[in-house]
Amino acid sequence: MRRFPGRPVLNPLSLCLRLAFAGLALPVMAAPATAQDEARRHYEVPAGSLAEALGSFAQQAGVAVVFQPETLAGRHSDGLRGLYAVDSGFAVLLAGSGYRSERSDNGYRLVAEPQAPLGAGVMELGATTVAGQGMGESTENTGSYAPGLVSVGSKTPTSVRQTPQSVSVLTRQLIEDQQITDINQAMKATPGVITQSTTVRTQDFISRGFSIQNLQIDGAAPQSLGTAMGSFYSSNIFDLAEFDHIEVLRGSGALFGGTGDPGGIINMVRKRPTAYNQFKFTLSAGSWDNYRQEIDLSGPLGWDGRLRGRLVVANTDRQYFIDHRATEKPLVYGVFEADVTDDTMLTFGVRYNKSHETGTQSSVPRYSTGADLGLPRHTGLTQNWSYIDVTAREYFAKLDHRINDDWKLNLSYTNIWDLGLFKTASTLNAVNPNTGTGATWYGTLSRQENQQHLYDANLSGHFEAFGLDHELTVGADYQRIDSRWLGTAPHAGAGGGVDVFDPDATPFPDQSNTRNYTRDYSPNSQRQYGLYASLRLQLAEPLHLIVGGRAQRYHFWQTYQTLQSGAWTTVSNPDQRIATKVTPFGGVVYDLNDQWSAYASYSEIFRPQSNRLAGPLGSNNTLEPMTGKTYETGLKGELFDGRLNTNIALYYTTRENEATRDPAFPQQNNLFAGSCCWLPNGKVMSKGIDVEVSGELLPDWMLTGGYTFNLNRNRATSTALSTVMPKHLFKLYTTYRLPGVLHDFKVGGGVQVQSATYVTGEAASTDVNGNVTSNLVPFDYKQAGYATWSGLVEYRVDEHWDLTLNGNNLFDKKYYETVGTSTYGNYYGEPRNFMLTLRGTY
């Protein structure tokens, strides 16, 4: 006999939520406790087995339900979302199952319908509520590594199996099991993706040899990550306390992502208010004084559950294995959901976070030949007085309206702003292999600001034609980015030699805080205007054809000035407008049976080259954009009633018109500004295999993993496109809850394996003003393949509390996580480390 106890109503929690959200001037009314059969509440029951759906509904309703689990074996539920009374909610969930609910002294029990045999077939339900369109499906409290519905490739919630591109999902359970706290760590755990440090705190995400440059939140208008190539000077690193799960699409994705490289798109799905009172508390402590706390309050606020709220507070206070490095990061995230009518839901939320970083450098140089210096991993070539201060803010609003049972309208707006102040202390130049000298201290003061306005509106729905069901999505989005970077001349006294083998023996004194800026990138702005449409046609019962297209206009402009002899002088001012450009998408999905589908797709994308100018010098003629195309075919499976997802894909990507140097004109280099002179002659290729599996392999056995084989080539230069993208990349993570008397223990572990990578090039020594002081010295070096192992042990103290110990790099492998040049950009991977986490849920 299985009994699902209801979740008790926590009056103090409800009071805390109402006080926390008291700024919203709306009435708060409690539902009568004795009117469960009459009062309607908002429910969120995910799809899955009927037994689990009934348990989830009972917990949210605060009632108990008793039944024999074996009698419901094999029965599936499409879930339940919307406003229901308890009795009507049970009725919808049990429709067609051969059972009905009946009240008992202790709650509810299931009774077999006399007209339906116990072996009745699987029931089919149709959800009748306003769903958060474009937000995917919540993975919270599912305990699973398998995603439900995703929106990264479709704008509307769609199963991974029906999405004809490679999609990976990091569920909330996976995020918590691996103790992932920010977007950088999340991408390290994502199959098929590698991370490369671009600064002391920001990272570039690379898939199939290309950067991932677009990010969506809740499937809305695309925003720029800002870190790729320093495009828009964004300083914010997304903290995952705000998000339920992360979806990553690999390949070209202009249909909903706008401009960018064919590396893919990241969609981060926010946490939403729950229909029942919930309190979560997390306290973590780890190696190198790494401390983190999270408080998460959620539940109904009034109007019989029609108004719901959620408040998340998180804080990180940590040091690193690197000397002179520390971080403090507080965050507050709040969100409201209101069922304005039975057909309209309004969402409003705010996120505010700060970050104070001590130390502004964590990479090391090499010998000028490229040979490894062999420095200890804790070497920190920075100073305690250097810092990065970041303030970030986000607010958003969404309106979901159900026009009828088939059509929905979605409107959304997001505003993201961040400001970073930098006082840097780092090094310049490679080390002479004969003298051990050459590296010098370097530092500046700088300020960077980024603001993005993101609008999206779309209409989606189903229609019937020729006896089959079809889907249509049409919409428009607008992206407005304005950023600015200001920098000073090098600190007075900068440029002194540094002994990289004993940096404390050659100190760099604290410098002035006077911000006399001498370099200015302003304006540094971008606009994207997009119209998109996607049509999913059911050509036959098992065959779906997806066609779509995006019409987009693009505008980028920038002015770079320097202060010379007391006057500001314009160095470059590229201004590029790209007239309406259409990027098509096509895909086909054939359902081989109820579990397996074969698919094929073709997608395009383009990437402007606004900072690459065609000759002659002074012409200010920007190059035409690069264009990317991705062909992909594969096989996807949803096994064990969707509890386990698999994907095997073959992909082939080309990118053309990449800028190459024009030998007819002299070279001119301006960092992040318009540089001359270039030709659009480059053509690159990337091809390979993606294999992925995620979900529940057996009861209580979760697994996620992927293998990527990649070959890439720059055909214009007959060299590799990306030498830092390994040919072989394998990631695996699994957990298992022990049986019997050891059921309170969960164990797990994982491994990340990649083949060798290398870098080649030429480097020169420079002075503090960037002037070349020695000839170019060629370098060529390799990071051998390596594997890092992780482990987990969790103990369930009781029904509310869990204690987890995570270990990373258990065999203490020494390696470079990022390889750069001989002068900078070489980042050691973390040594062996541990994290102990206490997590409570009420």
Distance between CA 301 and CA 27 in Å, rounded?
Answer: 9
Distance between CA 218 and CA 112 in Å, rounded?
Answer: 41
Residues 586 and 602 sit within 8 Å (Cβ to Cβ): yes
Whole-prediction pTM: 0.84
Mean pLDDT confidence for 1-9? 38
The most confident of 12-26, 92-106, 120-134, 486-500, by mean pLDDT: 486-500
Residue 668: the pLDDT is 82
Range with the poorest average pLDDT among 188-197, 474-483, 512-521: 512-521
Instruction: Collapse the DSSP code of 303 into the 3-class scheme (helix H, G, I; strand E, B; otherwise coil) and give the result.
Output: helix
Residue 8: the pLDDT is 37
pLDDT band (50, 70, 90) for residue 601: very high
What letter represents residue 641's amino acid?
A: D
Mean pLDDT confidence for 533-537? 96
The residues near 408 (Cβ < 8 Å, ≥ 6 apart) are: 130, 131, 133, 400, 401, 402, 459, 460, 461
Mean pLDDT confidence for 288-298? 97
* Number of neighbours of residue 34 by Cβ within 10 angstroms: 8
Residue 770: the pLDDT is 54
Q: Is the dihedral of CA 98, 103, 109, 111 positive or negative?
A: negative
| pLDDT tens column, 31-74 | 333 333 345 566 767 777 788 788 778 767 767 777 766 677 66
| pLDDT tens column, 429-455 | 899 899 998 899 989 999 999 999 999
Q: Is the dihedral of CA 4, 9, 13, 17 positive or negative?
A: positive
Residue 227: the pLDDT is 47
pLDDT band (50, 70, 90) for residue 100: confident
- Nearest one of 193, 76, 275 to 706, comparing CA atoms: 193
What letter represents residue 215's amino acid?
A: L
| pLDDT tens column, 395-409 | 999 999 999 988 999
Query: What is the DSSP pairing of strand 621-639 with strand 678-698?
Result: unpaired
Instruction: For 262-285, give the DSSP string.
Output: TTEEEEEEEP---SS-EEEEEEEE
The residues near 564 (Cβ < 8 Å, ≥ 6 apart) are: none
* Number of neighbours of residue 63 by Cβ within 10 angstroms: 21
Residue 70: the pLDDT is 62
* Number of neighbours of residue 537 by Cβ within 10 angstroms: 17
| pLDDT tens column, 698-747 | 999 999 999 999 999 988 777 888 889 999 999 999 999 999 999 999 99
Name the residue with tokens 């900068």. 494
Q: What angle do CA 139, 258, 720 make, to 5 degrees?
A: 95
Higher pLDDT, 64 or 466: 466
Residue 24: the pLDDT is 35
Instruction: Collapse the DSSP code of 731 into the 3-class scheme (helix H, G, I; strand E, B; otherwise coil) and give the result.
Output: strand
Which pair of structure tokens corresponds to residue 481? 């980015």
Classify each residue of 817-840 as buried b or exposed e, where b means 16 or more C-beta atoms within 10 Å of its C-beta. Answer: bbbbbbbbbbbbbbeebebebebe
Which pair of structure tokens corresponds to residue 19? 């006080």
Residue 117: the pLDDT is 40
Distance between CA 332 and CA 792 in Å, rounded?
Answer: 28
Percentage of residues in the chain with pLDDT exceeding 90? 61
pLDDT band (50, 70, 90) for residue 156: confident
Share the mean pLDDT of the chain: 86
Instruction: Collapse the DSSP code of 22 into the 3-class scheme (helix H, G, I; strand E, B; otherwise coil) and give the result.
Output: coil
Classify each residue of 718-731 as buried b or exposed e, where b means 16 or more C-beta atoms within 10 Å of its C-beta. Answer: eebbbbbbbbebbb
Higher pLDDT, 86 or 416: 416
Q: DSSP secondary-structure letter at 789?
A: E
Residue 229 has pLDDT above 70, yes or no: no
Residue 768: the pLDDT is 56
Architecture of domain 31-112: 3-Layer(bab) Sandwich (3.55)
Q: DSSP secondary-structure letter at 115?
A: T
pLDDT band (50, 70, 90) for residue 205: very high
Which pair of structure tokens corresponds to residue 367? 């010998």
Range with the poorest average pLDDT among 75-84, 483-492, 506-515, 590-599: 75-84
What size, in residues, is the chain?
A: 842
Residue 86: the pLDDT is 84
Name the residue with tokens 């394996």. 753
CATH topology for 270-841?
A: Maltoporin; Chain A (2.40.170)
- Compute CA 80 distance to the chain's CA centroid, rounded to the nearest angstrom: 27
pLDDT band (50, 70, 90) for residue 304: confident
Residue 102: the pLDDT is 80
- Compute CA 369 distance to the chain's CA centroid, rounded to the nearest angstrom: 37
Task: Name the E strands within 772-832.
Answer: 777-783, 786-796, 801-808, 816-818, 827-828
What letter represents residue 271's amino acid?
A: K
Higher pLDDT, 814 or 91: 814
Q: Does domain 149-269 have CATH number 2.60.120.10?
A: no
Instruction: For 389-422, give the DSSP string.
Output: EEEEEEEEEEEEEE-SSSEEEEEEEEEEEEEEEE
Domain boundaries, the chain: 31-112, 149-269, 270-841
Residue 97: the pLDDT is 78
